[in-house]
Structure 1
């Protein structure tokens, strides 16, 4: 009887020790390099920001973060890849306005849903801007609106296609200012930029960063920003909000997300690493130069930010009755 009792105690002791032994053998996270998928071609602002912040975050994590460009189909190709990845924190997505706030409203059939992702960290926001050709006889926003109203349907703006940010922001501007501008679609943002540079169209709407160099050289005029307040990189440019258009506030945003189901401990570790990198003085200086800013957010606050952005764009997109296919 004594022998049986001793054996039972040994079995129970082994059972209690087993989980501890398994945990002791599990490698600490992260145990290998991470991958950050950028759903845009190399060289653009999203790609540049991804590489800058990844370098800083990798210093905190003790593992490299490899940036992989997977452009295509309005960021759908890269987003689908990450949505289907294992939720272990090793595969991340550099999401943007298009990926998670406008695509779900524009395309009835997407291979992913916003709920397929877990928010990790907001990287930055860039205000959209009203950019006009030097040939347009308007030196400020007030004159531009007056001229547009005096010449209905004669004013045009270039877009990089139906449903693109340049198109949607233009529609927001039209609704806010009660003007009639005709959108002219081009194949890509480069062609849309060339059109306004050459005077082929009157204006365009896009992220402020893309047009600052041309404005500084006098090749374009930036008349207003769609931000709540002026930005240090272009503090001479007024906002539409301060000019009396409260419904014309919109940003292009960039942020890191992970596949849904990624453990909260991993998400919080990633958030801390990226946010610490964003506080770096060298990275801060670069972001300000590119007119990029944004609050340092927790994963929960970042998720709330994305939901608010979806609500904003829903008000713009729904009246347009767009039904796009990827």
Structure 2
């Protein structure tokens, strides 16, 4: 009887696997939706639409981008976490969604375990920009000046726990400097005050820093990437400036609800990586100062964990607790 029961159970498992395989092989049979947890027009949205358009051609089905901004990406993330794990609803997640929010928010409507990493779609470093009145030209000079003049320089930052705040804190910690934060409610007012010289420093995205640096309205002092950006060849990395641990990126990538069939995840990963290798897509990424290494789903999951550990070293000593 035990043998018969085992045989019967094995038959059920085999049948379920066959059905699972058939369903995966047929995927996709209808439109795929990518939820962007930000408003339209930003880099995350642009990236989702760029990848989505090309992905649609690969999959033979429409890829629809939906914007669900709010609550530091948590509104959109919750919607995807609660959706069916069938590969038809994906999230364009970011560093905030899965690397920093879980370290700072007391209550969250989702857990990291609610998601299955699918594919990395981009990495962007931060550029430290300064008003021309700041009498230094690189990060090494800034560190020396800040140490000699504690409290005389200010960062524009977009509130506690924001990416600008966390990178500010990373620099303060690693360089042992006293540079104050001036909080702003939005990037518009922060940039206006920076351009006017009311604050002296800001960590910015490469894409928005480039025109201001090239026009001379701001100076580029350092970049948090491993190597110099080809778009800003005269801006040294922090590693070159004597701060080897000052390496930081924002990551962007597609996530599926946990439990999504492995065959679907693999197909999506393969298709997204093929899209990212297209010359026109690479050109668009590069114009925004982004890169997209080819990673499988497991490697992408490892990258998320690595970035989470990086930000945990910054956040934990600060004891940031957000509601």
Same fold (TM over 0.5): yes
Q: Distance in 1 between matches of 2:241 and 2:213?
A: 20
Instruction: Give the equivalent residue in structure 1 for 2:186.
Output: 188
Instruction: Give the equivalent residue in structure 1 for 2:46.
Output: 48
CA 1:66–1:144 in 2, change beyond 3 Å: closer, same or farther? Answer: same
The answer (yes or no) to whether the contact 1:169–1:206 under 8 Å persists in 2 is no
Structure 2: state its 5+ residue gaps: 1-13
Matches within 5 A, 1:13-28: 28=26
- The C-alpha deviation readout for 1:234-292, integer Å capped at 9, x for no partner, is 22211001221112100011111011000000001111111110000111111111110
2:104 counterpart (100, 103, 106):
106
1:138 counterpart (133, 136, 139):
136
Distance apart, 1:22 and its partner CA? 11
CA 1:27–1:154 in 2, change beyond 3 Å: closer, same or farther? Answer: same
1:306 counterpart (282, 286, 304):
304
1:293 counterpart (291, 294, 299):
291
2:154 counterpart (130, 153, 156):
156
Q: Distance in 1 between matches of 2:289 and 2:19?
A: 51
The answer (yes or no) to whether the contact 2:131–2:200 under 8 Å persists in 1 is yes
Instruction: Give the equivalent residue in structure 1 for 2:71.
Output: 73
The answer (yes or no) to whether the contact 2:156–2:201 under 8 Å persists in 1 is yes
The answer (yes or no) to whether the contact 1:156–1:201 under 8 Å persists in 2 is yes
Count of equivalent residues:
310
Matches within 5 A, 1:149-228: 149-228=147-226
Distance apart, 1:206 and its partner CA? 2.9
Distance apart, 1:20 and its partner CA? 7.9
1:86 and 2:60 matched: no
SS of the residue corresponding to residue 233 of structure 1 reads: coil
Q: Distance in 2 between matches of 1:196 and 1:205?
A: 11
Distance apart, 1:195 and its partner CA? 2.1
CA 1:27–1:191 in 2, change beyond 3 Å: closer, same or farther? Answer: same
Q: Distance in 1 between matches of 2:23 and 2:296?
A: 31
RMSD: 2.1
Distance apart, 1:208 and its partner CA? 2.1
Structure 1: state its 5+ residue gaps: 1-15
The answer (yes or no) to whether the contact 1:50–1:67 under 8 Å persists in 2 is yes
1:38 and 2:23 matched: no
SS of the residue corresponding to residue 71 of structure 1 reads: coil
CA 1:239–1:274 in 2, change beyond 3 Å: closer, same or farther? Answer: same
Instruction: Give the equivalent residue in structure 2 for 1:264.
Output: 262
The answer (yes or no) to whether the contact 1:234–1:291 under 8 Å persists in 2 is no
Structure 1 residue ranges (4+ consecutive) displaced by more than 4 angstroms after TM superposition: 16-27
Q: Distance in 2 between matches of 1:76 and 1:22?
A: 31
Distance apart, 1:303 and its partner CA? 0.2
CA 1:147–1:26 in 2, change beyond 3 Å: closer, same or farther? Answer: closer
Alignment TM-score, normalising by the size of structure 1: 0.91
The answer (yes or no) to whether the contact 2:276–2:292 under 8 Å persists in 1 is no
Structure whose CA Rg is larger: 1
